[in-house]
């Protein structure tokens, strides 16, 4: 099993199918909070739905198309973060993340995204890490801003969240900027 230690309390691990029940429980208990910004929640109704997602994530990891990790905080699943896609041709990783409601405000996600960004540049030898977030999602936007990612612009109606469209802000970090 792949585990990457971020600090004494936080680790990232490649999910295993036996994680589906605990991961679903976290998703379900945070559903109202997460639904504001994540369009897939209504399609995740059972642990089996989460198990199918994990199968898909593991397949994409094996094919080097993405990297999904579970965030462990004091050995408890706290959320997920990773590269939703890896564009090997252009050497870009697209980061996505969410934390369960009870894990907010501890600095977990900033440390996780910092670790993933470093991993993208040092281990995967990519040139760019990109993060997109809804314009109104200040919590999500604060992560790349804290890590000095560059605001590269806004895409109008970038995503449909249930019955509304939201604009996205794109943040980018280049390997040469990170290494400074």
| Interval 4-13: pLDDT, tens | 899 999 999 9
Alpha carbons 176 and 174: distance in angstroms, whole number: 5
Evaluate if residue 1 carries a pLDDT over 60.
no
DSSP secondary structure letter of residue 42: G
Residue 17 has pLDDT above 90, yes or no: yes
Phi and psi at 63, nearest 5°, equal -90, 5
- Across 40-89, where does the E strand assignment appear? 67-73, 76-87
Q: Is it the case that residue 2 has pLDDT exceeding 80?
A: no
Q: How far apart are CA 6 and CA 97, in angstroms?
A: 15
Rg of the chain over Cα atoms, rounded to whole angstroms, equals 16
What angle do helix axes 138-146 and 108-122 make, rounded to 10 degrees?
50
75-104 b/e (C-beta count within 10 Å ≥ 16 → b)? eebbbbbbbbbbeeeeebbbbbbbbbeebe
Residue 179's pLDDT is 81
What are the boundaries of each domain within the chain? Answer: 3-178
- The residue-averaged pLDDT of 36-58 equals 95
Residue 19 has pLDDT above 60, yes or no: yes
CATH architecture of the domain 3-178 equals 3-Layer(aba) Sandwich (3.40)
Locate 73 and state its tokens: 């905080």
* Confidence band of 89 (pLDDT split at 50, 70, 90): very high
Distance, CA of 159 to chain centre = 16
Mean pLDDT for the chain overall: 96
For residue range 50-68, what is the model confidence (pLDDT) as tens digits?
A: 999 999 999 999 999 999 9
Return d(Cα 133, Cα 4) in angstroms, integer: 25
């Amino acid at each position: 099993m792949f585990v990457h230690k971020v600090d004494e309390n936080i680790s990232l691990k490649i999910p295993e199918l036996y994680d589906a029940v605990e991961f679903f429980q976290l998703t379900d208990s945070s559903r109202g909070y997460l639904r504001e910004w994540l369009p897939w929640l209504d399609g995740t109704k059972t642990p089996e739905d989460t198990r199918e997602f994990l199968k898909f994530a593991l397949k994409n990891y094996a094919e080097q198309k993405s990297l999904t990790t579970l965030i462990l905080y004091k050995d408890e699943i706290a959320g997920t973060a990773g590269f939703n896609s890896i564009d090997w041709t252009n050497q870009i990783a697209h980061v996505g993340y969410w934390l369960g409601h009870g894990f907010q405000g501890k600095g977990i996600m900033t440390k996780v995204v910092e670790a993933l960004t470093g991993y993208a540049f040092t281990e995967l030898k990519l040139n760019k890490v990109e993060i997109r977030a809804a314009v109104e999602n200040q919590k999500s936007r604060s992560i790349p801003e804290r890590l000095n990612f560059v605001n590269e612009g806004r895409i109008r109606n970038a995503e449909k969240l249930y019955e509304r469209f939201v604009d996205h802000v794109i943040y980018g970090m280049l390997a040469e900027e990170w290494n400074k």
